[in-house]
Amino acid sequence: MTVLTVPTADAVPVGLSRRTRILRRLRRNPLAVVSFVVLALAAVAALLSPWLAPYAVEQTDFARTFAPPGTPGHLLGTDDLGRDVLSRIMLGARASLQVAILAVATSLVIGVPLGLAAGYFRAWDAVISRFTDLLLAFPFLIMAVGLAAIRGASLTNAAVAVGIAQIPGVIRVVRSDTLRLKSLDFVAAAVVDGASDLWVLARHILPNATSVILVQATVAIPAAILGEAVLSFLGLGIQPPDPSLGTMLATAQQFAARAPWAAVLPGVVIMGLALAFNVFGDALRDALDPKGDRR
Amino acid sequence: MARYLITRAWQSALTLLLSTVVVFFGVRALPGDPALALAGEDRSPEALEAIRHHYGLDQPLPLQFAQYVGRMAQGDFGESIRTGIPVSSMLTTALPVTAELAVLAILIAAALGVGAGVLAAVRRGHPAEWLANGLALIGLSVPHFWLGLLAILYLSVATGLFPASGFVPLLDDPVDNLHHLILPAVILGTGLAAIIMRQTRSAMLDSLSSDYVRTAKAKGLRPRAVITRHALRNSLIVVVTIVGLQLGGLISGAVVTEQIFGLPGFGKMTIDAVFQRDYPVIQAVVLLTATAYILINFLVDLLYSVIDPRIRVTGDPA
């Protein structure tokens, strides 16, 4: 049997499972493949960084401060205390991913149930909408400022501030998808069949809303990475001497006249991570919904 | 229309009340005795007693809250612990700086974002589309404080084209004022531009394939006229929507940008207050941001119903 193939992203033979079709569409998109490889490498490097990093992050060497990149033994040079920049970038990227995952997990744990409830139960919608408005009224940096004033600055508080700021977005997409799914026949059939509200939500609506939740999480992660970097840069996030890409840039700003190169690399790494997630998120959205408009 | 406005007005009022409650209890959650925090250096028992009495900390909570709202509504945010200057007068000098920065950034973002979005939608499959899409993705992914840092290093310090920091009031010298603000405004505007670009592009793609654009083409209108007079009109609502939605991001961005460029605005005041544990200032900043966010979004909703009459009927700006 011959299978006709047309070179477009949508031309996947029908009859395959949804998951296989989505994976195929992703594999055929070169941008998706490249960004996935970048993310996989970054994840491995971050996980193994305590063992892969050539130096201990806090190991100082006052005889060799501000070594430029390319110095033998220090591929990316050293900082103001003679610490190895490559090692600190690796562990800083690890901290970025940690905060991002913690933040996005926080926003999902709170936002998904609220979004489901707002979309499914009419009576709850107004209350949850006011809660969303309330969260939105405190921009994430202002929230972080408040948290830092009450609880002090730390990695956890940075993740909490970023996570809380992302809750409204999660509620919004989950709510609108719940509204859509609720009107479909299979949900009505389950209700007629005597299924309880909780059962319908857990077995019928939540599994079908997974794809929008997944896309939302993929775009929330780069935002969280940028959020952590900003907070640490301002001194409201990860505290020295713990490595963070944001604090590295803050130090670089102080010593910009002596070591301008130090202001470049941590920023490139932050941008690379965020870009890879954003590109992959776009590709995932296209693969999940090939007919939808490509925003 | 009237019903929609009343609903929105009471929703905004309720959110405003709730956010005041949050800040009120947030202040009470500060570590230690609030009187101690408010007292700063002078911690004699008499001073603490006076502060407790002045702020009504010896009263029952509901009464305290009522007095608190009353004071805030009159613009009495207390005094800075560090300088003794009334917080309200600190705000009077800081807010115009931030407002000017934000307005400039929005103008730059709207010009760049709408331009690139239209280009990407009209020139589908053309290298221009790829360039515009790529730049938008980078705009979403780049840490803007880092761009600011690089701009200072390579455009201000190295070449001297722009001042690296500082501010000149608009009324003192408009040209010098713009010279100081243009770089921070561009940096702050690029992130917003990326978001506006993506939304404009997708709105343009929708309207370019719609019936009314086909009709306009069929009656022989020139392509340029179709794009500007018919398709582009809808992107106005996109910009208004995004500015409303991204206002929080814009405020956060302004705080960081001011910190980097040493602009004496609202953001710098905020960060300084955190590090000096200047609680009255922090409280005022948080409350004022929430109030501004709620009021501006209410105005954005009003603006919607002026731009797009359909919203008056459905009440849903989607």
- Concatenate the DSSP letters of all residues of A112-179 into one string: HHHHHHHHH-HHHHHHHHHHHHHHHTS-HHHHHHHHHHHH---HHHHHHHHHHHHHHHHHHHHHHHHH
Q: What's the gap between Cα B18 and its chain centre? A: 20
Q: Is the pLDDT of residue A188 over 80?
A: yes
Burial class (CB in 10 A: 0-12, 13-18, 19+), B77: buried
Tokens linked to B256? 């960081």
- C-alpha distances in angstroms, A246 versus A55, B146, B258? 20, 9, 17
Instruction: Provide φ and ψ at A74, rounded to 5°.
Output: -130, 90
Q: Where are the domains of chain B?
A: 2-73, 95-307
Average pLDDT of chain A to the nearest whole number: 84
Give residue A9's pLDDT.
45
Distance from CA of A10 to the nearest CA of B (A): 17
Give residue A11's pLDDT.
46
Distance CA A106, CA A161 (A): 10
Tokens linked to B103? 């307005």
Compare B244 and B282 and report the one with higher pLDDT: B282
Q: What's the gap between Cα B16 and its chain centre? A: 17
In the predicted model, what is the mean pLDDT of residues B247-253?
85
Confidence of residue A12 (pLDDT cuts 50, 70, 90): very low
First to last CA, chain B: 16
Confidence of residue B186 (pLDDT cuts 50, 70, 90): very high
DSSP A16-69: S-HHHHHHHHHHT-HHHHHHHHHHHHHHHHHHHHHHHSSS-TT---TTSTTPPT
Percentage with pLDDT > 70 across chain A: 93
B15 contacts on A by Cβ (under 8 Å)? 130, 133-134, 137
Distance from CA of A124 to the nearest CA of B (A): 15
Confidence of residue A295 (pLDDT cuts 50, 70, 90): very low
Q: Give B256-300 pLDDT, tens digit per residue.
A: 999 888 899 888 888 888 888 787 888 888 888 888 888 888 888
Give residue B25's pLDDT.
83
Contact assessment for residue A139 and residue B248, using Cβ atoms and an 8 Å cutoff: yes
B95-307 CATH: 1.10.3720.10
Q: CB A137 to CB B270 under 8 A?
A: no
Burial class (CB in 10 A: 0-12, 13-18, 19+), B50: middle
Label residue B160 left, alpha or beta by phi (over 0 means left) and psi (-120 to 50 means alpha). Answer: left
Stated pTM of the model: 0.84
Q: Give B87-113 pLDDT, tens digit per residue.
A: 899 998 898 999 999 999 999 998 999
Compare B309 and B122 and report the one with higher pLDDT: B122
Give residue A167's pLDDT.
94
In the predicted model, what is the mean pLDDT of residues A111-130?
91
In the predicted model, what is the mean pLDDT of residues B226-255?
77
Q: Is the pLDDT of residue A142 over 80?
A: yes
Q: CB A150 to CB B277 under 8 A?
A: no
Compare A222 and A74 and report the one with higher pLDDT: A222
Confidence of residue A15 (pLDDT cuts 50, 70, 90): low
Helix or strand or coil: residue B257? helix
Give residue B271's pLDDT.
87
Q: CB A278 to CB B141 under 8 A?
A: yes
Query: Is B248 in CB contact (< 8 Å) with chain A?
Result: yes
Give residue A115's pLDDT.
94
Give residue A103's pLDDT.
94
Closest chain A residue to B32, measured at CA: A150
Lowest mean pLDDT among A102-111, B120-129, B212-221, B307-316: B307-316
Confidence of residue B38 (pLDDT cuts 50, 70, 90): low
Give residue B37's pLDDT.
65
A294 contacts on B by Cβ (under 8 Å)? 202, 205
Distance CA A287, CA B157 (A): 46
Percentage with pLDDT > 70 across chain B: 90
Q: CB A253 to CB B149 under 8 A?
A: yes
Short-list A15, A33, A35, CA closest to A23: A33
Q: Give A205-254 pLDDT, tens digit per residue.
A: 998 888 889 888 988 999 999 999 999 998 888 888 888 889 888 888 88
Instruction: Count CB atoms within 10 A of the CB of residue A177.
Output: 22
* Partner-chain residue, chosen from B15, B137, B150, that has the shortest CB–CB distance to A134: B15
First to last CA, chain A: 38
- C-alpha distances in angstroms, A132 versus A125, A143, A172? 10, 14, 9
In the predicted model, what is the mean pLDDT of residues A110-123?
93
Q: Give B3-15 pLDDT, tens digit per residue.
A: 778 888 888 899 9
* Partner-chain residue, chosen from A146, A267, A275, that has the shortest CB–CB distance to B286: A146
Q: CB A230 to CB B153 under 8 A?
A: no
Q: Which residues contact B283 (CB under 8 A, 6 or more apart)?
A: B23, B26, B27, B77, B78
Q: Give B107-131 pLDDT, tens digit per residue.
A: 999 899 988 988 888 888 888 888 8
Q: Which of A74-88, A156-170, B69-83, B277-291 has the highest mean pLDDT?
A: A156-170
Q: CB B153 to CB A260 under 8 A?
A: yes
Query: Is B146 in CB contact (< 8 Å) with chain A?
Result: yes
Distance CA A239, CA A233 (A): 10
Give residue B6's pLDDT.
86
Compare B23 and A224 and report the one with higher pLDDT: A224
Confidence of residue B41 (pLDDT cuts 50, 70, 90): low
B202 contacts on A by Cβ (under 8 Å)? 293-295
Q: Give B60-87 pLDDT, tens digit per residue.
A: 888 888 888 888 888 888 888 778 888 8
Average pLDDT of chain B to the nearest whole number: 82
Q: Is the pLDDT of residue B22 over 70?
A: yes
Chain A with chain B: Cβ pairs closer than 8 A: 143
Closest chain B residue to A143, measured at CA: B286
Query: Is B294 in CB contact (< 8 Å) with chain A?
Result: yes
Q: Which of A89-93, A287-291, B42-46 has the highest mean pLDDT?
A: A89-93
Confidence of residue B223 (pLDDT cuts 50, 70, 90): confident
Confidence of residue B163 (pLDDT cuts 50, 70, 90): confident
B285 contacts on A by Cβ (under 8 Å)? 142, 145
Give residue B309's pLDDT.
64
Q: CB A275 to CB B279 under 8 A?
A: no
The conformation of residue B146, written as its DSSP 8-state character, comes to H
The conformation of residue A293, written as its DSSP 8-state character, comes to -
Domain A46-55+75-288 indexed as CATH 3.30.1360.120: no
Q: Is the pLDDT of residue A17 over 70?
A: yes
Q: CB B142 to CB A233 under 8 A?
A: no
Q: Which residues contact A1 (CB under 8 A, 6 or more apart)?
A: none
Percentage with pLDDT > 90 across chain B: 9
- C-alpha distances in angstroms, A139 versus B33, B163, B246? 27, 29, 9
Give residue B292's pLDDT.
87
Q: Where are the domains of chain A?
A: 46-55+75-288
ipTM of the modeled complex:
0.82
Distance from CA of B30 to the nearest CA of A (A): 5
